[in-house]
Amino acid sequence: MGINLRFMCNTRSGTSTSYLISCKTLSGTEASIFDYM
């Protein structure tokens, strides 16, 4: 699941910070962001 989220976020934004924020809203939890980080 973590890899899937990472891929989706990667395609959504190009910037690390921007893609991180997008992932946060996508996953809903900070734990998921740190999981694939």
In this prediction, residue 8 carries a pLDDT of 56
In this prediction, residue 4 carries a pLDDT of 56
In this prediction, residue 32 carries a pLDDT of 52
In this prediction, residue 37 carries a pLDDT of 46
Q: Please calculate the CA angle 14-7-3 and round it to the nearest 5 degrees.
A: 140
Q: Using one digit for the tens of pLDDT, what is the confidence trace for 2-34? A: 555 555 555 554 555 555 555 665 555 555 545
Q: Environment class of residue 9 by beta-carbon count within 10 Å: exposed (0-12), middle (13-18) or buried (19+)?
A: buried
As given in the structure block, the two tokens for residue 12 are 């959504």
| pTM score, whole prediction | 0.21
As given in the structure block, the two tokens for residue 17 are 């910070």
Q: Please tell me whether residue 1 adopts helix, strand or coil conformation.
A: coil
CB atoms under 10 Å from CB of 32, counted, come to 18
